[in-house]
């Protein structure tokens, strides 16, 4: 009798696994080599040509060596966050082995005989407000709130933010915290290397009298300052952009759909105040993975998904619109610099509070739902690519 396969060995997504399914990466995991190189090489140059010489320049030797040790420890921390972000299950929703049969008002046996498709959307209640969720034909399930199907990894991911090629993984519910800490820590590392390189250059100017002679003595300091300045526009802008998103309890995917498709009159059904939004991201417990990649595959077993800790109640089914299926994804790719620079120059508006005396909510405001698949009544939806 043949030994049954493990889940990761028969996985239908595009993920890559290491250590017998203990580490799960995206299909573009090789980009990690580039990201590691962009971080590690400048730090090595800094330690060899700047920090070590700076330790001898300073009158107090212990302070100089502390600069070197801090750079090494901080870099190890940044690389750990990068690996943790890339190798963790971002919140993949397990696929069903067959279409759901418990859809109210739908006869699954009749659809097999007649070829009747499942309803494209159904209406649920999220935090007391009705929104629509979309059926995913690939995963054969109705996507949980804020879930979207990534066309790169070929998985439905909970609280999908975007697919980041720099870490080679989707950014979702389970690894968003690590991703933000990685980006913000990288920005601080750039500031640190830039500052220490500038300090060493200043000491050389004091010794040699002119900046030109100081540059000739330590060209590495100038190169590192230029590199960190350019990098800071990217990672610093990205940090600010995600701070803005966290304050509004919004994902990158939702932000782009919100601005690009339907205008600005949207209600974020997930927003419960700025402070609560930060607590949710940084202080809430990370839920365990819904996938046991090292478990054995059982034939005929079906998997179902839950909506997480968001209050969700099914109330109705919408089968009015049979529009063509469009898979929405968000790839930042080569446009990350544009987003970072846009964030640096962006004027962030005040976040409107939720008053109890709000006027009645229109259906167009509720269809968006920030991350939930929307249904248009008269227009077909065009594919929106984020980054």
Marked catalytic residue, from 164, 170, 178, 190: 164
**What per-residue string of b and e applies to 94-133 under the rule 16 or more CB within 10 Å gives b?**
bbbeebeeebeebeeeeeeeeeeebbbbbbbebeeebbbb
**CA dist 139 to 7, 96, 144, 160, 343, Å?**
15, 6, 12, 15, 35
For 134, list phi and psi in degrees, rounded to 5. -110, 150
Active site annotation includes 170: no
Length of the chain: 387
Gap between the Cα atoms of 375 and 120, Å rounded? 9
Which tokens in the block code for residue 99?
A: 């279409």
Question: What contacts 85, CB < 8 A, 6 or more positions away?
Answer: 167, 169, 171, 175, 178, 179, 182
Dihedral over alpha carbons 257, 258, 259, 262 (to 10 degrees): 90
3-state DSSP call for residue 20? Answer: coil
Dihedral sign for Cα 100, 102, 106, 111, please: positive
Tokens of 9: 């060995």
Instruction: Name the CA radius of gyration of the chain, rounded.
Output: 25
The residues that are catalytic are 164
């Amino acid at each position: 009798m043949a030994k049954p396969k493990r889940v990761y060995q028969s996985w239908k997504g595009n993920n890559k696994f290491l250590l017998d399914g203990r580490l799960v990466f995206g299909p573009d995991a090789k980009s990690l080599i580039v990201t590691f190189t962009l971080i590690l090489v400048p730090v090595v140059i800094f330690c060899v040509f700047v920090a070590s010489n700076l330790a001898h320049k300073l009158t107090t030797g212990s302070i100089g060596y502390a600069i070197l040790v801090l750079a090494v420890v901080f870099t190890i921390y940044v690389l750990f966050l990068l690996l943790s972000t890339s190798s963790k299950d971002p919140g993949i929703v397990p696929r069903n082995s067959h279409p759901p049969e418990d859809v109210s008002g739908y006869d699954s046996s009749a659809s097999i005989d007649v070829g009747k498709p499942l309803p494209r959307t159904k209406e649920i209640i999220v935090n007391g407000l009705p929104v629509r969720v979309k059926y995913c034909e690939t995963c054969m399930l109705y996507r949980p709130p804020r879930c979207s199907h990534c066309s790169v990894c070929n998985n439905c991911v909970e609280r999908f933010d975007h697919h980041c090629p720099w870490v080679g993984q989707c950014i979702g519910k389970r690894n968003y915290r690590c991703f933000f800490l990685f980006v913000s820590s990288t920005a601080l590392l750039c500031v640190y290397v830039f500052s220490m390189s500038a300090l060493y250059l200043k000491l050389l100017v004091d010794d040699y009298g002119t900046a030109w002679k100081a540059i000739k003595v330590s060209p590495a300091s100038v190169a590192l300052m230029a590199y960190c300045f350019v990098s800071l526009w990217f990672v610093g802008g990205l940090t600010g952009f995600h701070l803005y998103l966290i304050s509004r309890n919004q994902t990158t995917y939702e932000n782009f759909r919100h601005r690009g498709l339907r205008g600005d009159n949207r209600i974020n059904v997930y927003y419960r105040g700025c402070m609560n939004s930060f607590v949710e991201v940084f202080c809430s417990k990370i839920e365990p993975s819904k996938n046991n990649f090292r478990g054995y595959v059982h034939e005929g077993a079906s998997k179902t998904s839950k909506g997480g800790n968001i209050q969700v109640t099914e109330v109705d089914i919408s089968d009015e619109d049979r529009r063509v299926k469009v898979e929405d994804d968000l790839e930042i790719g080569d446009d990350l610099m544009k987003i970072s620079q846009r964030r640096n120059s962006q004027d962030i508006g005040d976040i409107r509070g939720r008053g109890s005396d709000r006027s009645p909510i229109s259906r167009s405001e509720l269809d968006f739902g920030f991350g939930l698949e929307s249904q248009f009544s008269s227009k077909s939806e065009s594919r929106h690519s984020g980054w």
